[in-house]
Structure 1
Amino acid sequence: MNRRAKDILGKTDFDLFPDQTWASEIRNKDLKAIAEGRLSEYAVNYKDPSGRIRIVNALRTRVQSKNEVYLVAMLWDITEQHNNELELIKARESDRLKTNFLANVSHEIRTPLNAIIGFASIVGDAHDEFERNYYMNIINENSNQLLKLIDDIIDLSSLEVDKFEFKMRSVELKDICRSVYNMFSQKTKPEVSFIFDNNILPSVFLYTDPKRLHQVLSNLIDNAVKFTIKGNIRFGYEIQSEENTDKQFVRIYVEDTGIGIDKNYNHVLFDRFFKADNFTQGFGLGLPIAKKLTEEMGGELKFTSEIGCGSKFWIKIPILSNS
C-alpha cells in the first residue's frame, strides 16, 4: 500500500482510499472471506491509496481464536513478474508474426517474379508479333504487380514506425473519386461492370491527405477487381449525419458481386496477406494499409460480406474544416 504502519493502524478502508467505490469493493471482499472462511485471487488489479495500479496475488483467510474472529490478508506484488511475462509473450508473438509475414511475402513475391522470368526467357523465341506482345503484356503486368507489392511493404513499414507523413488540406472528394475511377475503369474483367454515379454525387470538401485517400480507395477497388469475376463493382459516396447531433460525415463505399468472404475470417481479414484458402490469391497488404491510413486520417474502415454474394467496404470520414 506504500504506507507506514502508523498511518494505517486504527483506520478503515474508507479512511485510506480516496476512491470510495474501491474502498467498498475491498470491504466486500473482506466480508466475503469472513463468511466463507477463505478468498484467493491471482494476478488481479490492485489500486493503492495513491491511485497506482499494481498486479497482486491476494489471500484472505478467517482465523478463529477463542471467542474472537480475525481476518488475515496477504498480498504479493507480482507487477514486475507479470510485466516481464507479458513482454515475453509479446516477443514470441512478434517473432511468430514476422515468420508468417516473411513466409507470405516470399510467396507473394515469387508468384509475379516467376512469371517475369519465365516469359522473359521465351519472348525471344516468339514466332510472330502477336505472340511477342502477348508475352510482353504478361511481363509488364507482373512487373507492375511486383512493384506495387514492394511499395506496399515500404508503406506498411513506415506506418508501423510512425514515419509516414500526411499532408492535410481541403480537397474536393469527387475529384479524388473520379481520378480513382479513371485509373480502374479499364482494368475490370470483361463480364464486370464498373459503376461510378459521378453525376448524382454531391459536392463535398474534406480536410484530408488527398494522396493517401486516393491510395486507400485504390487498394479497396483493386481487391474488388481482383475477386470479382462477373457482375458489377459499384463505387461512390454519400453524406450522412451522426445520430442526435449536427455532425456530418461522408461514407465512401466500394461494393462488389465477387466471391465474398466467409464470416469465420472476419477477425483476420485485415491481417497481412490474408488468404481464405491455398487455392486463391491473397489480399496482400492493401487492406491492412487501407485500414491503418484511414485511422491515421481520423476515419474508420468497415465491411460486410457474404460468401458467394460479394462484399461491401466503406470508409467513414468526418466532415471537418481545417480550422
Structure 2
Amino acid sequence: MKSSFRYILVVTFIVAVIVIVFLQFNSSQSINQLINGNEDLMNVLKLKMELQQVQENVTQLETETKSIVIRGHDLRDGRFEQQAKKVSQSFQTLDSFEINPVVGAGILRLKRQVNKKIELNKEVLRTFAGDGKDAAEALINDQEETLLSDSINSLAHQIDRQYQVSVTQLIRNADRNGRNAKTFGTILAVIAAIASLLAFGYISYKMGEQQRLIHQLNVSEQRARRSAEAKENFLANMSHEIRTPLNAILGFTGLLQKKQTDPETGHYTGLIHKAGENLLQIVNNILDISKIEAGMMPVETAAFDLRETVATIEHLYRQRSMEKGLAFAVVVADDVPEMMEGDEVKLTQIIVNLVSNAIKFTDKGQVTLAVNRKQVAGNKMIITFVVSDTGIGMDAAERAAVFTRFRQGDESITRKYGGTGLGLTIVKDLAQLLNGTIAVRSEKGSGTVFTVELPFRQAHVVPKDERHGTPLKMEQANWLHKKILVVEDNEMNRLLLAQLLKGWQLEFEMATNGNEAVRLLKEQRYDLVLMDIQMPEMDGYTTTAVIRNEMHHTMPVIAMTADALTSQKEKCLQAGMDDFISKPLEEAMLHRLLAQWLNEPVERTDGTEEPVAAPENNNLRYLQLNYLFMVSRGNREYEKEIMEQFCEMVPEELARIQTAWDQGNTDRVQRTAHSMKTTVAALGLTGHTEPYLSVLEHIMPADPAFPQVFQRLQEVCRHALDEATAYKAAHYGGNTDPVPGDNPV
C-alpha cells in the first residue's frame, strides 16, 4: 500500500469518525429530548391529578369541620386529625414540582393557602370547644372562609393551566426532535456503511504497527517485573525494620524475666514479652499473606527426608503437649517413602500451624498427626497429612469461616486463647500454592480434624550410608599458573579447602571475612574467588557487590553456602556471582567447577588413581568418617587436625548459641546454627544434627521450643565429641581428656 494512499485512508477514517460522532451526538440529544417530552406529558397528568386531590381533601376537611360543629360530634374521635393528615400527605408528590421554574412559586403559594385553611378550621373547632356552637358557626359563615376556599381552587386551576402551556411547547419540541433523530439515524447508517468499507484499509495499515505494539508490551512487562521486585524489596525491608526492634524488646524482656524482681514488675515484664511475641507473630503472618498475594512466595522443589521432617516437628511440640497434659501421637504409614521432592519449608509451615493450633485449642485428650499415601501414579503421589484433636471443636458457622482472615470463632475464643485468625488462612493459601487441598471436619465439643493433601514426587537418591563413599576418579588439570582466593569464616571449611587445593596443586590464599577479601583483591590479582555467603563484618553478597561495582573485577566468583534451595542460588546469581556450590563441599563437584571457570582443559588419563582405603569406623554410632577419609586421601595429619578442630569448635559454637539466646540475640543464634552445619558435616554428623540446627537457623525470639531443641542438640554433640576424642586417641595418639570448652555440651 502506497504511503500517500495510506494517509488518505487515515484522514478519511478520522473525518468519518468525527461525522459519525457528531451525528450520533445530535441523534442522542434528539432522542433524549423526545424522552423528556414524554416524561413531561406524564408529569402534566400527575400534576393535574394531585391538584384535584388537594382540592378534594381541602373540601372534605371543611365538610368534616362543619359536620362536627353542626352535629356536635366529639372532637376526640380523631376524624379531623386524620383528614388534616390526608391534606398534608397530598402535597408529598407536589413537593417534587417546587423546583419547576414555571409552577414552583404557585405550588408554594398553594401550600401556604392550604395550611392557612387548615389553621382556620382548627380555630373553628377550638371556638366550638370553648365558646359553643353559635360562635363556631359565626366563624364558618365568615367571609374569610369562603374567600380562602375560592383562592385555593383558583390557584390550583391557574397552576394547572400554566404547566399545560409549558409542556405543550415541550411536546412540540419533542416531536421535532423525534423527526430529527430519524433523519440523523438514516444519515448515520449511510456513513457507517461507507466507514465500514474504509475500515478494512485502515485495519490493514494497523497490521503494520504490530511490531511496535509488541515492543510496548515488552516494555510494560519489564516495568511489571521491576514493580514486583520493588514490592519484594519493600517486604524484605519492612520485615527487617519491624523485626529488629521487636527482637530487642523480646530479648531484653527475656533477660528481665530471669532477674529477681518484685511480683508487680515481673508481671508487667511478662505482659510486655507476651505482647511482643503476639506482635511478631502478626507481622510474620501479614508478611506471608502479602508475599502470597503479590506472587512473591516461590515454590522450591528439592529432595528432602519426609520422615525426618515429621520427626523434627514431633520433637518441637512433644514438650509443649506434655506441659498441657496432652498425648501427642505421630504416625507415618509404612508405605510412605522416605525421600520426597517438594517444598519442605512450606510443608513444615503448614503442619506446624495445624499442630500448634490443635495443641492450643485442646485442654485435655490428645493430638494426632497421621501421614498416609493416598494415590500413586508412577513416581508422583498424593500424601495426606491429618491433624486431629479432642479440643473445643467448631459449629457449622465457625467451620464456614475457619479459613477467613481475622476470624476466630467468636470473641470468647479470642479472649481465652489469643491469636489473630491468620494462621489457617496462610495454611490454606500455602496448600493451594503447592497445588494441594485442605478440608476440615469438626463438631462443637468433639474436636477437629484437618486433612491436607499435597502432591509430591518420590526422590531417587543414594541412601544415607552410601552418600559419602569412595572418592570419585577425576581428570587431571594443569593449574600451575592459576591462583584463587578462598573467603570463608569457618575454620573447618578452610582446612577442608586447603587440603583439596593442595592436592590439586592449585595456589590459593585464605580470607576470613569480606573486608579481608577486599584488601587482598586490591593488593594482587586472582583468577577465581570461592565466596562464603554468611560471614561476620561483611557477608558474601556485599563483598561481591564491592568486587563488581567498586573494584570492577570480572574474575569468576563461586558462592559457597549450606542453603541449597533454588531461591538461594538465584539470589547468588543476581548478586553478581557466577556459580553456586552447596556445603558440605563435594570434591568432584568443586573440581568440576574450578575446571569450568578457570578455563583450563583437562587431560584424560587411561589409568586412574586407586582410592585410599578408608579405615574402619569402629562401629561409630554418631560420626560418619567416610567424607573425612575421602578428602584426606590418607593424610593422617589432616585427619587429626580436623578431629581436633571439631572437638574445639563444637563446644564453642554451642556456647555461642546459648549466650546469644540468653541475650535475646536471635540473629546470632541463627547465624551460628547455620555455620555449625559446616562444622558437623566434616565428620558426617549432619544426619543427627540437621533437625535441630534447621530449627535453630529459623527460630524466632522467645520460641518456647528452644530449650528442648538445644538440649537434644547438646546430647547429640556430647556423644559425637566422646566418639571423636576416643577415635583420635586410638588412631592418632594424643590426650583423651576433654578439650577446653567442653562444658557447654
| Contact 1:201–1:236 (Cα < 8 Å) also in 2 | no
Q: How much has 1:205 moved relative to structure 2?
A: 3.0
Distance of aligned partners of 1:182 and 1:134 in 2 relative to their CA distance in 1, 3 Å threshold? farther
**1:237 correspondence with 2:371:** yes
Q: How much has 1:146 moved relative to structure 2?
A: 2.0
**1:181 correspondence with 2:181:** no
1:214 to 338, 342, 348: 348
Distance of aligned partners of 1:228 and 1:291 in 2 relative to their CA distance in 1, 3 Å threshold? same
**1:319 correspondence with 2:456:** yes
**1:267 correspondence with 2:404:** no
Q: Deviations over 1:238-281 (max 9, x none)?
A: 11227xx7763211111100100112232221001212212112
Unaligned runs of 5+ in 1: 1-112
Matches within 5 A, 1:273-284: 273-281=406-414, 284=421
Q: Deviations over 1:52-92 (max 9, x none)?
A: xxxxxxxxxxxxxxxxxxxxxxxxxxxxxxxxxxxxxxxxx
Distance of aligned partners of 1:236 and 1:283 in 2 relative to their CA distance in 1, 3 Å threshold? farther
Residue 258 of structure 1 aligns with an amino acid whose one-letter code is G
Instruction: Look up the match of 1:304.
Output: 441
Is the partner of 1:148 in helix, strand or coil?
A: helix
**1:293 correspondence with 2:427:** no
**1:155 correspondence with 2:288:** yes
For 1:228 and 1:283, locate their aligned partners in 2 and report how far apart those are by CA, in whole Å.
Answer: 18
Is the partner of 1:162 in helix, strand or coil?
A: coil
Distance of aligned partners of 1:190 and 1:131 in 2 relative to their CA distance in 1, 3 Å threshold? farther
Moved more, 183-192 or 259-268: 183-192
Q: How much has 1:170 moved relative to structure 2?
A: 1.8
Instruction: Look up the match of 2:360.
Output: 226
Instruction: Look up the match of 2:304.
Output: 171
For 1:129 and 1:176, locate their aligned partners in 2 and report how far apart those are by CA, in whole Å.
Answer: 43
For 1:191 and 1:149, locate their aligned partners in 2 and report how far apart those are by CA, in whole Å.
Answer: 27
Is the partner of 1:258 in helix, strand or coil?
A: coil
Distance of aligned partners of 1:321 and 1:138 in 2 relative to their CA distance in 1, 3 Å threshold? same
Q: How much has 1:311 moved relative to structure 2?
A: 0.3
Is the partner of 1:197 in helix, strand or coil?
A: strand
| Contact 2:393–2:442 (Cα < 8 Å) also in 1 | yes
Residue 423 of structure 2 aligns with an amino acid whose one-letter code is G
Distance of aligned partners of 1:127 and 1:284 in 2 relative to their CA distance in 1, 3 Å threshold? same
| Structure with the larger helix share | 2
Q: How much has 1:143 moved relative to structure 2?
A: 2.4
1:143 to 272, 276, 300: 276
| Contact 1:270–1:287 (Cα < 8 Å) also in 2 | yes
Distance of aligned partners of 1:266 and 1:259 in 2 relative to their CA distance in 1, 3 Å threshold? same
For 2:349 and 2:439, locate their aligned partners in 1 and report how far apart those are by CA, in whole Å.
Answer: 16
Is the partner of 1:319 in helix, strand or coil?
A: strand
| Contact 2:330–2:368 (Cα < 8 Å) also in 1 | yes
**1:190 correspondence with 2:324:** yes
TM superposition score normalised by structure 2: 0.25
Name the count of aligned residue pairs: 202
Q: How much has 1:223 moved relative to structure 2?
A: 1.2
Residue 214 of structure 1 aligns with an amino acid whose one-letter code is T
For 1:203 and 1:137, locate their aligned partners in 2 and report how far apart those are by CA, in whole Å.
Answer: 44
| Contact 1:262–1:307 (Cα < 8 Å) also in 2 | yes
Q: How much has 1:133 moved relative to structure 2?
A: 6.2
Q: Deviations over 1:104-150 (max 9, x none)?
A: xxxxxxxxx9xx99xx7xx79x9757886676555444422321111
Is the partner of 2:457 in helix, strand or coil?
A: coil
Unaligned runs of 5+ in 2: 1-245, 461-745
| Contact 1:178–1:198 (Cα < 8 Å) also in 2 | no
For 2:318 and 2:403, locate their aligned partners in 1 and report how far apart those are by CA, in whole Å.
Answer: 25
Residue 217 of structure 1 aligns with an amino acid whose one-letter code is I
Is the partner of 1:185 in helix, strand or coil?
A: helix
Distance of aligned partners of 1:229 and 1:198 in 2 relative to their CA distance in 1, 3 Å threshold? same
Distance of aligned partners of 1:215 and 1:207 in 2 relative to their CA distance in 1, 3 Å threshold? same
Superposition RMSD in Å: 3.3
For 1:130 and 1:273, locate their aligned partners in 2 and report how far apart those are by CA, in whole Å.
Answer: 34
Residue 254 of structure 1 aligns with an amino acid whose one-letter code is V
Distance of aligned partners of 1:128 and 1:211 in 2 relative to their CA distance in 1, 3 Å threshold? same
Instruction: Look up the match of 1:75.
Output: none
Is the partner of 1:252 in helix, strand or coil?
A: strand
| Contact 2:372–2:385 (Cα < 8 Å) also in 1 | yes
Instruction: Look up the match of 2:219.
Output: none
For 1:202 and 1:129, locate their aligned partners in 2 and report how far apart those are by CA, in whole Å.
Answer: 54
Distance of aligned partners of 1:309 and 1:136 in 2 relative to their CA distance in 1, 3 Å threshold? same
| Contact 2:371–2:386 (Cα < 8 Å) also in 1 | yes
TM superposition score normalised by structure 1: 0.54
For 2:310 and 2:274, locate their aligned partners in 1 and report how far apart those are by CA, in whole Å.
Answer: 24
For 2:459 and 2:335, locate their aligned partners in 1 and report how far apart those are by CA, in whole Å.
Answer: 23
| Contact 1:248–1:318 (Cα < 8 Å) also in 2 | yes
Distance of aligned partners of 1:127 and 1:260 in 2 relative to their CA distance in 1, 3 Å threshold? same
| Structure with the larger strand share | 1
2:384 to 234, 244, 251: 251
Instruction: Look up the match of 1:40.
Output: none
| Contact 2:342–2:456 (Cα < 8 Å) also in 1 | no
Q: How much has 1:234 moved relative to structure 2?
A: 0.7
For 2:459 and 2:420, locate their aligned partners in 1 and report how far apart those are by CA, in whole Å.
Answer: 34
For 1:283 and 1:302, locate their aligned partners in 2 and report how far apart those are by CA, in whole Å.
Answer: 20
Larger Rg: 2
Residue 294 of structure 1 aligns with an amino acid whose one-letter code is A
Is the partner of 1:288 in helix, strand or coil?
A: helix
| Contact 2:333–2:373 (Cα < 8 Å) also in 1 | no
Distance of aligned partners of 1:205 and 1:314 in 2 relative to their CA distance in 1, 3 Å threshold? farther
